[in-house]
Amino acid sequence: MPHVLVLNASYEPLGVVPLRRALILVLNGKAISLEDSGALMHSATQVIPAPSVVRLKRFVRVPFRGTVPLTRRALFARDGGRCAYCGGVATSVDHVVPRSRGGKHSWENVVAACRRCNHVKADRHVSELGWRLRHQPAPPSGLAWRIIGTGHRDPRWLPYLRPYGADDALARIDGRTPA
Q: How many CA atoms lie within 13 A of 177 on its CB side?
A: 2
Question: Three-class SS of residue 147?
Answer: helix
Which pLDDT score is estimated for 177?
Answer: 47
Of 144, 156, 152, 147, nearest to 1 by C-alpha is 152
List pLDDT tens digits, range 94-140.
Answer: 999 999 999 999 999 999 999 999 999 999 999 999 999 998 998 88
Residue 19 identity: L
For the stretch 147-161, pLDDT in tens is 776 667 788 888 888
| Residues facing 63 on adjacent strands | none
What DSSP designation does 110 have?
E
- Report the chain's mean pLDDT, rounded to a whole number: 87
What Rg value do the Cα atoms of the chain yield, rounded? 20
